[in-house]
Amino acid sequence: MFDLTTTTFDAAMTPSEFDQSKVDLQTLQSKFSFLHPLDETDTKGMFKTSNLEKTLMREVLSEFDNAAPYLGNTKQNKDEVTTLLLLAEQLSFHEDQLLQTYNLVRRNRMLAEAKAYRRVSSFRDSLVAIVKGGQKAAAPIVARIAAFFKKRSDAIKAANKAKKEAAEAAKAAAEAVAQ
């Protein structure tokens, strides 16, 4: 398990580093300009090809030349399948690399947010201790901070309630369809 208390961030990116990272990502995206945007309708008939299916395609590919006397010129089809399989392998490599990068960025974002939240909570706790110690002038600050925390807590409760209601509605709909 990852220890949130011992991991530190020295600094955020400078504005110029952040701007350069955006340019780098845009440059990377432009390298994939040949990719087709696909929506859910486009992908309904597609499926994740397993290694067994890739092996099958390569084995059938090896028979293209043998079928030429019966089907005529199979070179164009063979070249197309070879190109598509190569492209699939290349894209699979990039997909893995991008996924690793995505996970690293996402986890570090979450870590930074968690550490920021801990610092804010610690700040609140310090102020509460100061007020309890007799510094009543800080009480309005504590009250405002308490209101911020309550607003957050109420929003989480509302979101969880909405999620629960949506799940119950989906379950009821599924049961109605099943009957």
139 CB contacts (<8 Å, ≥6 apart)? 131
d(CA 111, CA 117): 10
Give the pLDDT confidence score for residue 1 in this predicted structure: 43
Sequence-distant (6+) residues with CB within 8 A of 68 are 74, 75
The whole-model pTM stands at 0.63
The pLDDT of residue 28 is: 87
Residues 61 and 82 sit within 8 Å (Cβ to Cβ): yes
What is the Rg, in whole angstroms, of the alpha carbon atoms belonging to the chain? 28
**What is the reported pLDDT for 3?**
55
pLDDT digits (tens, 9 = 90+) for 142-174: 999 999 999 999 999 999 999 999 999 999 998
Residue with tokens 């530190």: 8
Q: What is the pLDDT of residues 102-112, one digit of tens each?
A: 999 999 999 99
Q: What is the 3-state secondary structure (H, E, C) of the chain?
A: CCCCCCCCCCCCCCHHHHHHHHHHHHHHHHHCCCCCCCCHHHHCCCCCCCHHHHHHHHHHHCCHHHHHHHHCCCHHHHHHHHHHHHHHHHHHHHHHHHHHHHHHHHHHHHHHHHHHHHHHHHHHHHHHHHHHCCCHHHHHHHHHHHHHHHHHHHHHHHHHHHHHHHHHHHHHHHHHHHC
pLDDT tens for 42-94 read 777 676 677 788 888 889 888 888 888 888 877 888 888 888 888 888 888 98
Task: Kindly report, residue by residue over 2-38, the tens digit of the pLDDT.
Answer: 455 566 676 788 889 888 989 998 998 888 888 888 7
pLDDT at 125: 95
